[in-house]
Structure 1
Amino acid sequence: MSSLDPTPVHIGISLTDPAAASEAISAMYGGTDLAAVQLDDTFSFRYTAQGDETMSLRSSHFSGRLAGDVPPGDDVVVQWLTSGTGWFDTGSSPLELTPGRPVPLLPQRTFSFDLSDYDQRLVHLDRALVERVASERGSDVGAGLRFDLHAEPSAAAVRAWHNSAALVAHTLRDAGSGGLLHREMARLMSAALLEMYPLSPLPDAGTSRVRSAHVRAAVEYVHAHAHLPITTTSVAEAVDVGLRALQEAFRSELGVTPNEYVRSVRLDRARDELLQTDPTTTMVRDVARHWGFMHLGRFSQMYAARFGEYPRDTLAR
């Protein structure tokens, strides 16, 4: 994105066919397996957006039921219902949506959703801008934007968000998008989001016992990218060090190979997810595959060796 010349965003859609509505939403958000169901005699879908790629304000009306999955995107999307019901699920326990409560969609995770007869407001913020504002506030954004969606934002922070959104809406109506004022408004909305949902702290990356700058960088890289198909070679390339040198440094300072360290981090992440998910809707196999363990039997053995219990026992807690 060019900060000097952001692309304008102007959308106005009005449809009366569920299939066409599903197609339009999929085109905007990259949704998969979207199911749009007409619940009453009539169906309507309306969607508007105004702003630019730095920030846009949007509204959505859907008279029916809409469900599906949406993959990660470049924007940080904050949504709140003004009417209707629904829930989001980002891989932990599902979050029931409360009208008026803003919820940021995690930009690094696919999320599932199910909404019925809803009116929705949304703010799209450029992800890089939110990360800059978070960094200026002293947050470590090396592992991405980590919002705890189950943390209840304070009433004051929610009021500040809605007041800021109203101010932006008035400004867009009177002055339009683009220019310095719009960029400052986008920073205002980013700050308001971070007041509601401060970034969750990074897990301990084990860097306190690391002396080598290359090993420290590699450890941080692994923690930030554990959900991706990284290899020892890709880690070495990311921190600009030779493969053999990285392997020897890991053995010297951490007592493990880089592959063993990656596996350990992924086991920790899998355990965190098993502890946080609903055992009635989650399968161990799916969690294992999400963290790169394709063979369920070997995953269970490694998990039990590390944590003293099988993953199914952790999930059943």
Structure 2
Amino acid sequence: MAYRVAINGYGRIGQSVLRAIYEGGYRDQLEVVAINELSDIETVTYLTRYDTTHGRFPLPVEHNGTELLINGDAIRVLNQPDAAAMPWDEMDVDLVLECSGTFSDRKTAQQHLDSGARKLLFSQPAGVDVDATIIYGFNQQLLASDQSIVAAGSCSTNCIVPVLDLLHRELGIISGVTTTIHSAMNDQPVIDSYHQTDLRLTRSAMHSIIPVNTGLNKGIDRLLPDLAGRFESLHVRVPTINVSLLDISLNVTQTTSATQVNQILRTAAEGPLKGLLGYTEEPHASVDFNRDSRSGVVDGTQTRVSGDNLIKLMCWFDNEWGFANRMLDVAQNWLNCKHN
């Protein structure tokens, strides 16, 4: 019997999560019974059926005025702005997938639980007071049945944390700098407009490379406490609609070479992290990783080592599809935790 799941917020991640449930083999265990989205049901149906990034939905998509109908499954569509007024109790919701991106605090998340949901999983970094932040393939063993509010990190933490963990254990990381080269997002305007208080984000997403603020180094601190205070992070948005790249510079204690670094990462990608971390030496461009379900793919052709101790790496990741699949891995494993 499948667990009953509600998606709160039906933007890029919410839509990718729904699609991944049907395309990624999760439907047997995860049944979407509700979508809460302030847009009208006609728009919800249309944006489910057609997607510029991921193509047409592979199954029939219709609506009956109140429900989204996917291959015979009826999914109730809500337009409720108040988390405290959600009908999760009457709908017997096991898990809310929080994909709105509008809050990250435990207090607001608790309103969904007070409305009847048993658990809530954030699709973004959340406050330190959540029960756990889980990067699947790194620390999913921390999941427990008595937890009620968990975060799945971010697309970039899912990409970088397993890589840093591997290299720190093998080579000893002294310090590092990361630059996330990220596709445009919906907090940016297509043309210059009064869209944001951050003046850089008032500029056209399609005509500029735009630096934005990031908390990736804080995420590294939280998830890898041995490396706390050792990283700085930058983030730039570029005029593409999907697939991003992490440019990683690491100063390590052990003398190393590009060949050794690549061997460490290739071995993990072909072994314990197979399906989660990838490794390639083909001449790729970003579009090649559209709809790649792995958390990240190391581009071995770009690995460099300077002076025996300074490593430069590049890792590709589909910031929508890869993250949606990891979020569902966390959800499925969490719901299947045995009761304590």
Q: Same fold (TM over 0.5)?
A: no
Higher helix share: 1
TM-score (norm 1): 0.27
TM-score (norm 2): 0.26
Larger Rg: 1
State the structure with bigger RCO (CA 8 A, min sep 6), 1 or 2: 2
